[in-house]
A and B are shown apart, each in its own frame.
Chain A
């Protein structure tokens, strides 16, 4: 079904002058790092005129201080929320709602706890007519993320890392054009995190899908991304957007340019000494 045509222009993201503001509901909001507090009913700007363009198949790492609006941005890209002004296009089409072409991997587990791993992964392909093909595809994706043998366990029976893998399989099974990952490693221990990091890099090299990866870990972003976007504190503005032309696996010690960049980003984010 015109797969080749689709492959040529899939996963291209264009964000044009996107802004988002919320109406403050609390009587007195906490002060945002000296940016002033907002009175109730006041408009609180979260995203300020974001202009960005991501190419097909790019792994884009979005970096920024916590609470800066990174998550809001991906929620808008995924169609869960709308921007206040500006537009978002994916493959030339304006985003107006969620779609299984652009799958979201949630910050904390988005697996449905009443379904097994198998049931969760089936979610995206439940409409497939040929059940045998469906089962094959589900199994294939469970194998890809290394959960073979765990198909019939419930999410709470899995470790944190396995839950993320299961969610990844659920996302991959629909063969989406774009994967949104909103701090998918939050709450995982360091080793699991590094392992998953590596696996996602390998998976990305293999499947070449656009991945928009939100993180607040600078090293993670530098190790994983093809492109790096650094956001300022709220309201989020693009402080830095640059391609990362380094081959994998990346090593800070062996690549001076990479460690220089790391220093620069720390400094952009306001850290000067604690390295």
Chain B
């Protein structure tokens, strides 16, 4: 058991180290200047610099704050709306085309409007993050509700559950466990979009760090920010996966 667990950590770690060596090799063979193509050691050193002076933490916290607020807004609005639309066939019929029309519009396309409406600061960034995860969440929730075993709805009808009761006692608990993939995708997209959103209108966050470092020609800082984005991306995904434990209550046959 312990050997197995150690393997699970060690093997991916070795792959990372291997990738680092490959990177170093590319740097050596490319002959580019270290300012243009920093090698892993340079990036690590500058990472330490950013950690030591607190810049990295400050930007990371700013990004996480925006993602959290934007994503929570999307969850709080998207999931209940999706459940209502999934259940209310008339509404689904009426609104589906509109949602499908808005969904493929990249959040980035909203940038000009967002800046016009919300000015600068946290608000436009949060709005963009909200938009980016709202549509995938609502669509997946509608699908999840449509897939509810019809037996459960018949049980509800058989025991004279009211509309509100059907919603709270059947639809809500029946969809919850199947929403996990939607939440994972949603948080993933939110994290993707935050970088883009922070390249406009704000003076903090990892996206801003990338933009600002590029302007200062500190490509090593750009790479630092990218590395942090990757690590936090893994962390967010793991966090959502922890919700799996809720699902375990319902068993496999669900």
Interface residues of A (CB under 8 A from B): 78-80, 97-100, 102-104, 106, 108, 110, 112-114, 123-124, 154-157, 174
B171 to chain A, nearest CB (A): 11
Interface string of B146-167 (1 = CB under 8 A from A): 0000011011011110000000
In chain B between 161 and 188, which residues have their CB closer than 8 angstroms to a CB of chain A?
169-170, 173-174, 176
B158: contacting residue among A100, A108, A154, CB under 8 A = A100
A113: contacting residue among B160, B169, B251, CB under 8 A = B251
B250: contacting residue among A78, A103, A104, A154, CB under 8 A = A154
A80: contacting residue among B154, B160, B252, CB under 8 A = B154
Q: In whole angstroms, what is the CA distance A102 to B250 when docked?
A: 28
Q: Are B154 and A114 in contact (CB under 8 A)?
A: no
Sample of 14 further A-B pairs with CB below 8 A, known A110-B152, A114-B174, A156-B251: A99-B160, A100-B159, A102-B158, A104-B158, A110-B151, A110-B154, A112-B152, A112-B174, A113-B251, A113-B253, A154-B251, A156-B250, A156-B252, A174-B159
A108 / chain B contacts, CB cutoff of 8 Å: 151
A98: contacting residue among B151, B158, B252, B254, CB under 8 A = B158
Consensus secondary structure, chain B interface? helix
B157 / chain A contacts, CB cutoff of 8 Å: 79-80, 97-98
B152 / chain A contacts, CB cutoff of 8 Å: 110, 112
Q: Are B151 and A123 in contact (CB under 8 A)?
A: no
Whether a CB of chain A sits under 8 angstroms from the CB of B249 is yes
Q: In whole angstroms, what is the CA distance A103 to B155 when docked?
A: 9
Q: Are A104 and B154 in contact (CB under 8 A)?
A: yes
B176 / chain A contacts, CB cutoff of 8 Å: 114
Q: In whole angstroms, what is the CA distance A156 to B177 when docked?
A: 15
A99 / chain B contacts, CB cutoff of 8 Å: 158, 160
Q: Are B158 and A103 in contact (CB under 8 A)?
A: yes
A100 / chain B contacts, CB cutoff of 8 Å: 158-160
B154 / chain A contacts, CB cutoff of 8 Å: 80, 98, 104, 106, 110
Q: In whole angstroms, what is the CA distance A123 to B162 when docked?
A: 12
B159 / chain A contacts, CB cutoff of 8 Å: 100, 103, 123-124, 174
Q: In whole angstroms, what is the CA distance A102 to B249 when docked?
A: 30
Q: Are A106 and B151 in contact (CB under 8 A)?
A: yes
B121 to chain A, nearest CB (A): 42
A114 / chain B contacts, CB cutoff of 8 Å: 173-174, 176, 249-250
- Contacts A/B (CB < 8 Å), 21 sampled: A79-B157, A99-B158, A100-B158, A103-B159, A104-B158, A106-B151, A106-B155, A110-B152, A112-B152, A112-B170, A114-B174, A114-B249, A123-B159, A123-B169, A154-B249, A154-B250, A155-B251, A156-B250, A156-B252, A156-B253, A156-B254
A98 / chain B contacts, CB cutoff of 8 Å: 154, 157-158, 160
Q: In whole angstroms, what is the CA distance A272 to B141 when docked?
A: 53
Q: In whole angstroms, what is the CA distance A104 to B169 when docked?
A: 19
B251 / chain A contacts, CB cutoff of 8 Å: 113, 154-157
A112 / chain B contacts, CB cutoff of 8 Å: 152, 155, 169-170, 173-174
Which residue of A has the minimal Cβ distance to B173? Answer: A114
Q: In whole angstroms, what is the CA distance A242 to B173 when docked?
A: 45
A102 / chain B contacts, CB cutoff of 8 Å: 158
Q: In whole angstroms, what is the CA distance A102 to B157 when docked?
A: 11
Which residue of B has the minimal Cβ distance to A107? Answer: B151
Q: In whole angstroms, what is the CA distance A31 to B251 when docked?
A: 38
A73 to chain B, nearest CB (A): 15
Which residue of B has the minimal Cβ distance to A158? Answer: B251
The 4 A-B residue pairs whose C-beta atoms are closest, nearest first, are A156-B251, A114-B173, A98-B157, A110-B151
Q: In whole angstroms, what is the CA distance A174 to B160 when docked?
A: 11
A27 to chain B, nearest CB (A): 23
Q: In whole angstroms, what is the CA distance A154 to B176 when docked?
A: 17
B155 / chain A contacts, CB cutoff of 8 Å: 104, 106, 110, 112, 123
A166 to chain B, nearest CB (A): 12
B151 / chain A contacts, CB cutoff of 8 Å: 106, 108, 110
